[in-house]
Copies of this chain bind each other. A is one copy, B any other.
Amino acid sequence: MRQVEPIQRMTEELAKLPGIGRKSAQRLAYHLAAIPLEDVQALAQALAQGRADIKLCLQCGNYTAEELCSVCADPKRRQDVLCVVRDPRDVAAMERMHDYQGLYHVLHGILSPMDGIGPGDIRIKELMERLENGGVQEIILATNPDIEGEATASYIARLVKPLGVKVTRIAHGVPVGSDLEYTDEVTLAKAMEGRREL
C-alpha cells in the first residue's frame, strides 16, 4: 500500500523544514490527520498569514509587522551605536541580554565566497548609507566567531574606518559558566589573546 496521498503531501512539505526528518514528518502528518480540521486550518493560517505579515524594518532590516521594528521605534534607544548582526535571530538573542541600549543593523546573510555570497548580496550598502547619514559614533560587529563571520567583520571594518566611525568587534573567549577543561583550543587562544589587566 502506498501512503494515503494527502498524508504523503503533508509529510513531504513538513520534511522540508530544518531538523524534521522523514519519520518525524510522517508522525506529524498522522497527528494532523487525527486532530480537528479547524486546528490544522489555524496552524496553516498562522504560518501563511504570519509569513505574509512579516516585513523588514525600513531602518535596520530586523523583522517587524510595522514600518519600523520595535527597537528602531523606541525613542529611548541610543541612536549613536549600531550592532551589526547576521540575521533577526541574532537581534532576538542580543535583546534577551536586556543590556544593549543601541540600535541594530541586520545583514541578512554573511559573506561566503564558497556559497557565492558577495558584498552585494547582504545589506552592506544599506549600512553604509546609514553611516553616511551621520549620527553614528560606533558600530559593533557581532557576526558569529567563525570563518565567514570573521571575514565579514573584517570586510565591513575596512569599509567603515575611513568614515571616522569607531569599529569594534565583540570579544571572543571562554563562555561564562563553562569549564576551561572543556573549552576548545581556538576559543582558549582567543581568550588569552583578549586578556585584560585587572
A13 interface residue, CB < 8 Å from B?
A: yes
Inter-chain contacts of A27 with B (CB < 8 A)? 18-19
Query: Contact at A87–B34, with CB atoms within 8 Å?
Result: yes
A37 interface residue, CB < 8 Å from B?
A: yes
Copies of this chain in the oligomer = 2
Query: Contact at A48–B54, with CB atoms within 8 Å?
Result: no
Chain B nearest CB from A181 CB (Å) reads 8
The stretch of A1-9, A153-161, A186-194 in contact with B is A1-9
Inter-chain contacts of A10 with B (CB < 8 A)? 46-47, 50-51
Query: Contact at A47–B33, with CB atoms within 8 Å?
Result: no
Nearest B residue (CB) for A64 = B4
| Measured CA separation A107–B52 after assembly (Å) | 40
Chain B nearest CB from A14 CB (Å) reads 8
Query: Contact at A92–B3, with CB atoms within 8 Å?
Result: yes
Chain B nearest CB from A90 CB (Å) reads 10
Query: Contact at B1–A95, with CB atoms within 8 Å?
Result: yes
Inter-chain contacts of A24 with B (CB < 8 A)? 19
Q: Return the contact of A32 from the options B9, B51, B71, B87 (Cβ within 8 A).
A: B51
A165 interface residue, CB < 8 Å from B?
A: no
Nearest B residue (CB) for A42 = B13
A149 interface residue, CB < 8 Å from B?
A: no
23 contacts between A and B (CB under 8 A): A1-B71, A4-B54, A4-B62, A4-B64, A6-B49, A6-B51, A6-B53, A7-B63, A9-B46, A9-B50, A13-B43, A13-B47, A14-B43, A16-B43, A18-B27, A18-B31, A19-B24, A30-B88, A30-B89, A32-B47, A34-B87, A40-B47, A44-B47
